[in-house]
Amino acid sequence: MSNENLTMKLGLFCDFDETITRVNITDTVLERFAHPSWREIQEEWLAGGLSARAVLEKQMPLITVRQRDLDDFIDTIEVDASFADFASQCTEKGDSLYILSDGFDYWIERILKRSLAAWNGVPKEIPVFACSLTLRGEEAVISFPYFPQGCAHGCATCKPGLFEQLKASADKSIVIGDGVSDFLLAQSADLVLAKGALRQFCQREGMSCQAFDDFRDVIQILDAFRSRFREEDDD
């Protein structure tokens, strides 16, 4: 077995909403705290009339919420029960785990802190690349730090740009996701783990992917991926 495969490092690029969590948090927050007109904007986006960034710029100002109420609501969001095991394995193997999301850092970071707090071996902070949200009184104020100047894809968080920047530090790049914002990453990754719309996209485009339902599946798929390279090297 070569030293290269003994030390093979993976770069894992993971979506958040409906991948790590069971629901799209932005939609659930809008449903709970926004003026009902957010749904009309959503329909315009689904019809292709708005970019991901533009739809958030229109929807998020419709929210009215106190921080205490928002935090209490966020704390009810369920996380995949095996995600902490997966994150711990990434640390153990020296892999790089990144969360790339069109959602918002405010609740992603709060949910990660809650869901990983009890686990030894999990990094204190997983790098999160997402839209920014703060509360000004009862109003949601948003910005787009990745990339603030916008991108050709209309992303709220430019996942393709981040992917190209970050994947260089890994031997193999793995995409884990479920949605439209992961399509462009799937075209460049060494391995795609997909469910939902991303799985349908890969099947429609004839692209190879591994289907998963939860992070128990992800752990098994990655173990098999590593084993395959060890076996090829032994041959």
In the prediction, which pLDDT does 3 show?
45
pLDDT at 133: 98
224: its two tokens: 């098999």
Q: What is the pLDDT of residue 222?
A: 96
pTM of the predicted protein model: 0.91
Max avg pLDDT among 62-71, 150-159, 175-184 = 62-71
Per-residue model confidence (pLDDT) at position 153: 79
Give pLDDT tens digits for 140-156.
Answer: 999 999 987 767 778 89
Mean pLDDT in residue range 204-229: 93
> For 3-234, CATH number?
3.40.50.1000
Give, as one character, the DSSP assignment of residue 110.
Answer: H
- Residue-wise pLDDT for 65-121, tens only, equals 999 999 999 999 999 999 999 999 998 899 999 999 999 999 999 999 998 886 766
Q: What is the mean predicted confidence (pLDDT) over 114-136? A: 85
How crowded is residue 193: how many other Cβ atoms within 10 Å of its Cβ? Answer: 27
Statement: residue 126 has pLDDT above 70 = yes
The fraction of the chain above a pLDDT of 90, given in percent, is 74
128-136 and 139-143: which strand pairing? antiparallel
What pLDDT score was predicted for residue 120? 65
pLDDT band at 5 (very low <50, low <70, confident <90, very high): very low
Peptide bond into 147 cis (omega under 30): yes
The secondary structure of 163-216, three-state, reads HHHHHHHCCEEEEEECCHHHHHHHCCCCEEEECHHHHHHHHHHCCCCEECCCHH
23-62 pLDDT per residue, tens: 999 999 999 999 999 999 999 999 999 999 999 999 999 9
**Mean pLDDT rounded to a whole number for the chain:** 90
Angle (CA) 90-96-101 rounded to 5° is: 105
Tell me which H or E stretch contains 130: strand 128-136
Distance CA 235, CA 37 (A): 61
